[in-house]
């Protein structure tokens, strides 16, 4: 990189071109004042602002590494440190009455930008705005669809293209640099303008760093070095499928028997309702008190032991809430373990007919106590993993034990919740054996979360909220250093008459084979939606899919290991390994590891599918037909997802046997 | 009023308090740069902006009446002229690179503000923003209702609380002043902040004027003096009801006979389809070529003559468009009479399966030609009035014969369209006899439009788009000097299964008696919606309503005359005559003239209604029960709208006979 300082201007470039340029008529920094309005409904945040002042700081004074940007009385001072391939802007100071900083980064029409966390709608961010704020992704997520508004009006939130459980103030440019802003504050990355990227932050960030590299692979190495990478997943989880089921001990015995009879390779059952149910007018909800329910699961220990004999694990569920009216809630409340309101009282979250306290992980005592619950009530019981749910609902006006507000902690909370899980598992020496999966995340998650899942898709083929959305989600999460993710086979959310069909379930099944982990979910309304065991055909497809998975196991092990060792995610964008302009815009195909190209069928009623193959020699995994780079339409009946392997893969002998 | 100039500050106050205050730490003027995005779908405008810079001009230099506001290099110069009760800010100059001016007007939490044109949702504007931009009001107009989004997605526009056919950059404060901004540019009056009102204009306005007065009545005199008032309506229109009907000559004979047989006092028939119909996949649409259709209306002259013998007029329909594929269109296009695009070609408006040119009234030849059409094809035929529809659809990038752009002309166009109608009628010496009614308007309309109607309500009881919305609409329009308005009895828009019931029709009928004009509309889907002739009960209620109307005629004549002479509108807010805090927030009751208080029942299934009566002696028009000021629940069966007269009205003898 190059930093050129003049008297009243400066510029920062890498080998691809200018990244930052400040001159009198084109200020790098603006400061502003604005008044925000944040309305929260459960995990849906309606955020808007009115700009009161917005001032370009045109004048510049440079004194060694201290840069002072000014315009009349307005000023911002910062320190800019330059290394070969790294620029850091830090020690940012401005007048207290201002609450917005805007950085202008050079861009151009053809730039491709990726990141900002887990993105469900767009892989390439150019042309749009992306706020950094963890939230429910929403139901519908498409302002062209009525479902989105129905969800809004129901109070669950329809979401938008940018709403995500896992935002991150980081982007990667195909001008071969990564930019990361160190801050937990709300910010907006605005890529909508042709020639400039604007980063707006609602307060003063710690740092803004730009790192130049020579390739996307080098950038991924940097991501791994900066944000960490997830440890290796245990082998038991890679082979076979985990079946999500509820209903109690007897149901589990029965369903497992049926699955095994049908030849399905089951590695675990996942029973969310291990804690029992709570009846509300909305329907059955899990009882958010984290200990086994002897009513729903009598003889749970025996069930777990019996399953283990068949090499099947038992997985459970937990989140960071405790429901009012339980001894755990009362204890935590009395001890002051909950996130608080301004008046020092516990901040009670309303989940519609039940109320909860939220564990404050910045309180070391609370953290220790919650870890004990995980250790004693879950790990010691023989539970091999769980969904560690939620993390996105911290209200802006909450107060934490570390003295910080909800506004500052909102984006950090998911990683703290991950860390609590991590430490519990670590303290029982079960890392690499016990696995928990989270949907919420941010900077810090890669180190502390063993596995992601893509949250609550709708049970349909919509682009922004259905099966398709998990593809850019998996790729983008991987680009931020979180290479291990998966999704609910069959999706989750069924509302307003939108129900899961057999086709929907089977299309997501065939695609799940080529992800780190296969797990089904009954969905929010099990009785109205197609379940894996509803037809013979479906049971057969599950058997066939787990058989395929088993055959691929050596390769999958390698993919997972590579992620742990090098940070190269399991679901990689094509452009990571192919220097091909066309790959830069491909959001719905991915490389599963280095050698498999996967093109999930995400539309209804298809029997063929168009794929783009970058320049290489590709072999269709099922037909063994050989393809060179190009665009092809291939057969894609249900069960025959378009997947290709590289002919010169070291696993090509294995692939040839499929 | 008082203007106090100091060296670097100034303030303007009236007897109620400070109106404008400028000092270093609290600038009166800000300037800015922003990039707007205006997306038009038919008459629905999706308008947003990104603020690039927004600078408070803190420093002030005063040189006689020249005020220069500055901040570093940023500056705005203007002239401030002061008279006893009037302040005018004019000759505003700023650097060309800026495209936003923001004026900050003092406010307080308890201030009540009215105006900004015809407001369908809120009479008191405090607490909300109101953009000034004529458009379709939208279908639903309530972001809490699914219908609004259904309309959005259908492409007709769901609208919002502020969308209106008639916006005006004028407000009236209960701090006893009126503020008016002379500009046709898009602007936003933002009353959402407690202590300040912000006026943002997208360019440089001609003038900003503030007029102080001692009472609302004095303010209404000022409104009349500034904006004019509508002339007296002809007597034929005040007595009886106008029946909207379509289908051709025979249908009209038949429907009139039936109505008269039932004892309905019919003053006119209104036949939109006098020009014939055009079949599109959307349904039947009027054929937008303005001459009688001999196919649909054979022997129209005879029909008109026959009706006149029974003292019934014939009303028609026109708008400022001409449909492609007609000789009129071809002629106008060839002559260059249409609004144009940048490239000099006619700007063809797409109405979904048919395309139209828009008459450019700034082209004197076009204006003359269109007047000739009205005179020859309508007035000379014996047509006594018409709906002069539309006016809100001018695209921002249109070009007019006067050299101005659509951006500048958009808000002016409705008044030009009104003026064309006015001159046609005037040139045939038919003012006071021929009447046309418009929904679109703005400054200038009061002088040139004989009558308003409230546009296209939904056929329901919703607050923001149903019968209720016409009440604040009528009051607010009156406050801007347009005292003569009415609405479609039964509403108009029926979409997504929302259909007109008998109750809906009859509730709007009983209320229409106490407005300047009674007229029915079949609605957009006549067959699916209740029509006045569908039941005996309905026909009887129409007979009863026109009988009541006839009895009230002397009073109604007085109300209409008073509007013409003094500018006091037919539908007045209670606060205009009652200095009573509670009246300031009453949007759904009104005074019909000075002596009748009307409280329309705008909810379904009601048999009683709560009314607020300001301090006076009131007599219930039907029960003759006497009330003093206060809040009462009165019986309100269908047909018995709560109406009260002032006991010491000069018409109390008349009222006593009802």
Residue B286's pLDDT is what?
Answer: 85
Residues 6+ apart with CB under 8 A from B259: B243, B266, B533, B539, B542
For B15-94, strand residue ranges (E) read 17-22, 29-41, 44-56, 59-63, 66-71, 74-83, 86-94
- Among B613, B453, B439, B599, residue whose Cα is nearest residue B518: B453
Indicate whether A113 pLDDT > 90.
yes
Task: List CB contacts (< 8 A) between A145 and chain B.
Answer: 153
Residue A353's pLDDT is what?
Answer: 83
Residue A286's pLDDT is what?
Answer: 85
Give the long-range contacts of residues A648-656, CB within 8 A, separation 24 or more.
A648/A617, A649/A594, A649/A595, A650/A595, A651/A554, A651/A555, A651/A558, A651/A595, A652/A595, A652/A619, A654/A551, A654/A552, A654/A554, A654/A555, A655/A555, A655/A595, A655/A596, A655/A619, A655/A621, A656/A619, A656/A624
- CB atoms under 10 Å from CB of B170, counted, come to 25
Q: Is A68 on the interface with B (CB under 8 A)?
A: no
What phi and psi, each to the nearest 5 degrees, are found at residue A151? -65, -40
For A353-364, what is each residue's pLDDT tens digit? 899 999 999 999
Please give the angle made by the CA atoms of B369, B370 and B375, to the nearest 5 degrees.
95
Q: Give me the catalytic one of A44, A142, A174, A456.
A: A456
- B146 → closest Cβ in A56, A73, A150: A150
- Measured distance CA(B138)–CA(B163) in Å, rounded: 7
Which helix (H) or strand (E) segment holds residue A446: the answer is helix A445-448
For B532-569, what is each residue's pLDDT tens digit? 999 999 999 999 999 999 999 999 999 999 999 999 99
- B51 → closest Cβ in A54, A145, A149: A54
- Contact of B179 with B173, CB cutoff 8 Å: yes
CB < 8 Å from A in window 126-165 of B? 144-146, 149-150, 153
- CB atoms under 10 Å from CB of A228, counted, come to 17
Task: List CB contacts (< 8 A) between B54 and chain A.
Answer: 32, 51-55
Residue B280's pLDDT is what?
Answer: 67
Q: Is there a catalytic annotation at residue A456?
A: yes
Catalytically annotated residues of B: 389, 392, 456
- Measured distance CA(B194)–CA(B369) in Å, rounded: 51
- Measured distance CA(B403)–CA(A11) in Å, rounded: 44
Structure-token pair, residue B378: 């309508």
* Mean pLDDT, residues B204-213 taken together: 98
CB < 8 Å from B in window 332-371 of A? none
- Contact of A23 with A73, CB cutoff 8 Å: no
* Mean pLDDT, residues B189-194 taken together: 98
Determine the 3-state secondary structure of B538 from DSSP: helix
Which helix (H) or strand (E) segment holds residue A318: the answer is strand A313-319
Where on the phi/psi map is residue A263: left (φ > 0), alpha (ψ -120 to 50), or beta? left
Determine the 3-state secondary structure of B147 from DSSP: helix
A281 band by pLDDT with thresholds 50, 70 and 90:
low
Indicate whether B257 pLDDT > 90.
yes
- CB atoms under 10 Å from CB of B150, counted, come to 19
Interface test with A, best of B29, B149, B152 (most A CBs within 10 A): B149
Look at B146 and A144 and tell me if their CB atoms are within 8 Å: no
Cα A632 to Cα A373, A514, A586, B426: the distances in Å are 53, 20, 15, 71
pLDDT-above-70 percentage for chain B: 99
Q: Is A56 on the interface with B (CB under 8 A)?
A: yes
For B387-430, what is each residue's pLDDT tens digit? 999 999 999 999 999 999 999 999 999 999 999 999 999 999 99
**Gap from A262 CA to chain B (nearest CA, Å):** 46
Q: Is B282 on the interface with A (CB under 8 A)?
A: no
- Measured distance CA(A141)–CA(A148) in Å, rounded: 6
Indicate whether A318 pLDDT > 70.
yes
Q: Is B55 on the interface with A (CB under 8 A)?
A: yes
Indicate whether B281 pLDDT > 90.
no
- CB atoms under 10 Å from CB of A344, counted, come to 8
Q: Is there a catalytic annotation at residue A397?
A: no
- CB atoms under 10 Å from CB of B349, counted, come to 22
For B596-612, what is each residue's pLDDT tens digit? 999 999 999 999 999 99
A98 band by pLDDT with thresholds 50, 70 and 90:
very high
Torsion angle defined by CA atoms of residues B580, B586, B587 and B591, in that order, rounded to the nearest 10 degrees: -60
**Gap from A150 CA to chain B (nearest CA, Å):** 7
DSSP string of A577-645, one letter each residue: T---GGGGG--S-EEETTTEEE----STT-SEEEEEE-SS-EEETTT--EE-SEEEEEE--TT---EEE
Q: Is B30 on the interface with A (CB under 8 A)?
A: yes
Look at A30 and B53 and tell me if their CB atoms are within 8 Å: yes
Indicate whether A282 pLDDT > 60.
no
Residue A280's pLDDT is what?
Answer: 67
Query: How far from the centroid of its chain's Cα atoms is residue B399's Cα?
Result: 26
Residue A352's pLDDT is what?
Answer: 83
- Contact of B460 with B466, CB cutoff 8 Å: yes
**Gap from B140 CA to chain A (nearest CA, Å):** 14
Q: Is B54 on the interface with A (CB under 8 A)?
A: yes
Residue B352's pLDDT is what?
Answer: 83
DSSP string of B110-141, one letter each residue: T--EEEEE--SS-SS-TTSEEEE-B----SS-
Surface-to-core class of residue B45, CB atoms within 10 Å of its CB (0-12 exposed, 13-18 middle, 19+ buried)? buried
Look at A55 and B51 and tell me if their CB atoms are within 8 Å: no
**Gap from B280 CA to chain A (nearest CA, Å):** 25
* Mean pLDDT, residues A397-401 taken together: 98
- Measured distance CA(B396)–CA(B407) in Å, rounded: 4
**Gap from A401 CA to chain B (nearest CA, Å):** 34
Task: List CB contacts (< 8 A) between A144 and chain B.
Answer: 153
For B107-133, what is each residue's pLDDT tens digit? 999 999 999 999 999 999 999 999 999
pTM for the whole thing? 0.95
Q: Is A71 on the interface with B (CB under 8 A)?
A: yes
A72-103 as b/e: b if 16+ CB within 10 A: bebbbebebeeeeeebbbebbebeeebbbbbb
**Gap from B461 CA to chain A (nearest CA, Å):** 20
Task: Nearest chain A residue to B143 by CA: give it.
Answer: A153
Task: Nearest chain B residue to A55 by CA: give it.
Answer: B53
* Mean pLDDT, residues A533-542 taken together: 98
- A55 → closest Cβ in B53, B144, B149: B53
Residue A657's pLDDT is what?
Answer: 96
Q: Is B53 on the interface with A (CB under 8 A)?
A: yes
Residue B282's pLDDT is what?
Answer: 56
Indicate whether A278 pLDDT > 80.
no
B461 band by pLDDT with thresholds 50, 70 and 90:
very high
- Measured distance CA(A626)–CA(A619) in Å, rounded: 4
Structure-token pair, residue A131: 């706020």
Interface test with A, best of B24, B54, B194 (most A CBs within 10 A): B54
Task: List CB contacts (< 8 A) between B55 and chain A.
Answer: 53-55
Mean pLDDT score of chain B: 97
- A53 → closest Cβ in B54, B72, B73: B54
Indicate whether B285 pLDDT > 90.
no
Diameter of chain B measured on Cα atoms: 79
- A149 → closest Cβ in B30, B55, B149: B149
- Among B120, B124, B59, B68, residue whose Cα is nearest residue B94: B68
Task: List CB contacts (< 8 A) between A52 and chain B.
Answer: 54
Task: List CB contacts (< 8 A) between A150 and chain B.
Answer: 146
Determine the 3-state secondary structure of B60 from DSSP: strand
* Mean pLDDT, residues B328-348 taken together: 98
**Gap from B73 CA to chain A (nearest CA, Å):** 8
Q: Give me the catalytic one of A174, A190, A389, A616.
A: A389
Please give the angle made by the CA atoms of B164, B514 and B221, to the nearest 5 degrees.
65
- Measured distance CA(A572)–CA(A478) in Å, rounded: 7
- Contact of A422 with A373, CB cutoff 8 Å: no
- Among A458, A521, A418, A493, residue whose Cα is nearest residue A134: A418
- Measured distance CA(A281)–CA(A271) in Å, rounded: 22
Count Cβ–Cβ pairs < 8 Å, chain A vs chain B.
36
Task: List CB contacts (< 8 A) between B127 and chain A.
Answer: none
| Pairing state between β B435-438 and B451-453 | parallel
Strand partners, A26: A23
Q: Give me the catalytic one of A392, A488, A510, A522.
A: A392
For B300-450, strand residue ranges (E) read 313-319, 321-323, 349-350, 355-358, 385-389, 435-438
Task: List CB contacts (< 8 A) between A56 and chain B.
Answer: 53
- CB atoms under 10 Å from CB of A293, counted, come to 17
SS3 track for B269-323: EECHHHHCEEEECCEEEECCCCCCCCCCCCCHHHHHHHHHHCCCEEEEEEECEEE
Q: Is B52 on the interface with A (CB under 8 A)?
A: yes
């Amino acid at each position: 990189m190059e930093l050129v300082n003049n008297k009243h201007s400066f510029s920062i470039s890498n080998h691809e071109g200018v990244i930052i340029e400040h001159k009198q008529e084109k200020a790098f920094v603006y400061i502003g004042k604005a008044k925000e309005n944040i309305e929260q409904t459960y995990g849906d945040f309606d955020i808007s602002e009115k700009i009161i002042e917005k001032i370009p700081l045109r004048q510049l004074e440079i004194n060694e590494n201290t840069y002072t940007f000014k315009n009349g009385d307005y000023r911002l001072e910062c320190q800019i440190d330059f290394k070969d391939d790294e620029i850091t802007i830090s020690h940012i100071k401005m007048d207290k009455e201002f609450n917005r900083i805007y950085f202008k980064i050079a861009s151009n029409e053809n730039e491709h930008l990726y990141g900002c966390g887990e993105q469900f709608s767009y892989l390439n961010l150019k042309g749009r705005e992306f706020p950094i704020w963890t939230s429910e992704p929403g139901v519908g997520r498409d302002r062209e669809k009525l479902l989105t508004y129905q969800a809004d009006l129901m109070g669950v939130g329809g979401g938008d293209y940018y709403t995500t459980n896992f935002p991150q103030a980081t982007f990667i440019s195909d001008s071969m640099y990564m930019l990361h802003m160190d801050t937990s504050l709300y910010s907006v990355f605005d890529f909508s303008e042709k020639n400039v990227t604007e980063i707006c932050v609602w307060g003063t960030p710690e740092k803004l760093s730009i790192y130049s590299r020579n390739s996307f692979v080098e950038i991924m190495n940097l991501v791994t070095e900066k944000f960490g990478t997830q440890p290796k997943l245990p082998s038991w989880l890679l082979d076979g499928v985990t079946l999500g089921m509820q209903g109690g001990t007897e149901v589990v015995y029965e369903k497992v028997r049926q699955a095994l009879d049908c030849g399905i390779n089951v590695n675990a059952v996942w029973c969310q309702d291990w804690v029992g149910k709570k009846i509300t007018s909305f329907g059955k909800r899990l009882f958010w008190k984290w200990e086994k329910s002897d009513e729903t699961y009598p003889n749970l220990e025996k069930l777990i032991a019996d399953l283990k004999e068949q090499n099947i694990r038992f997985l459970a569920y937990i989140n960071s809430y405790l429901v009012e009216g339980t001894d755990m809630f009362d204890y935590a409340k009395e001890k002051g373990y909950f996130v608080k309101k301004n008046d020092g009282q516990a901040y009670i979250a309303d989940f519609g007919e039940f109320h909860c306290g939220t564990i404050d992980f910045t309180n070391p005592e609370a953290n220790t106590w919650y870890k004990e619950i995980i250790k004693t009530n879950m790990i010691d019981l023989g539970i091999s993993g769980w969904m560690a749910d939620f993390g996105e609902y911290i209200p802006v006006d909450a107060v934490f034990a570390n003295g910080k507000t909800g506004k500052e902690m909102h984006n950090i909370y998911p990683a703290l919740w991950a860390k609590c899980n991590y430490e519990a598992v670590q303290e029982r020496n079960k890392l690499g054996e016990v696995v928990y999966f989270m949907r919420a995340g941010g900077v810090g998650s890669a180190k502390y979360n063993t596995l992601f899942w893509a949250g609550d898709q709708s049970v349909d083929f919509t682009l922004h909220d259905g099966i398709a959305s998990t593809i850019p989600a998996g790729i983008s999460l991987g680009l931020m250093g979180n290479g291990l993710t998966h999704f609910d086979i069959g999706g989750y959310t069924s509302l307003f008459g939108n129900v899961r069909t057999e086709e929907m379930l089977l299309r997501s099944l065939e695609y799940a084979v080529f992800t780190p982990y296969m797990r089904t979910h009954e969905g929010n309304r099990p009785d109205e939606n197609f379940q894996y065991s509803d037809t013979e055909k479906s049971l057969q497809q599950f058997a066939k899919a787990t058989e395929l998975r088993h055959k691929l196991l050596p390769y999958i092990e390698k993919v997972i290991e590579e992620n742990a060792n090098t940070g190269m995610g399991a679901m990689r964008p094509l452009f990571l390994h192919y220097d091909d302009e066309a790959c830069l815009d491909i959001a719905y195909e991915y490389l599963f590891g280095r050698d498999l190209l996967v093109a999930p069928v995400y539309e209804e009623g298809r029997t063929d599918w168009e794929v783009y193959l970058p320049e290489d020699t590709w072999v269709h995994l099922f037909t063994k037909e050989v393809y060179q780079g190009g665009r092809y339409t291939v057969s894609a009946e249900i069960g025959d997802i378009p997947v290709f392997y590289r002919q010169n893969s070291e696993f090509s002998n294995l692939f040839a046997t499929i």
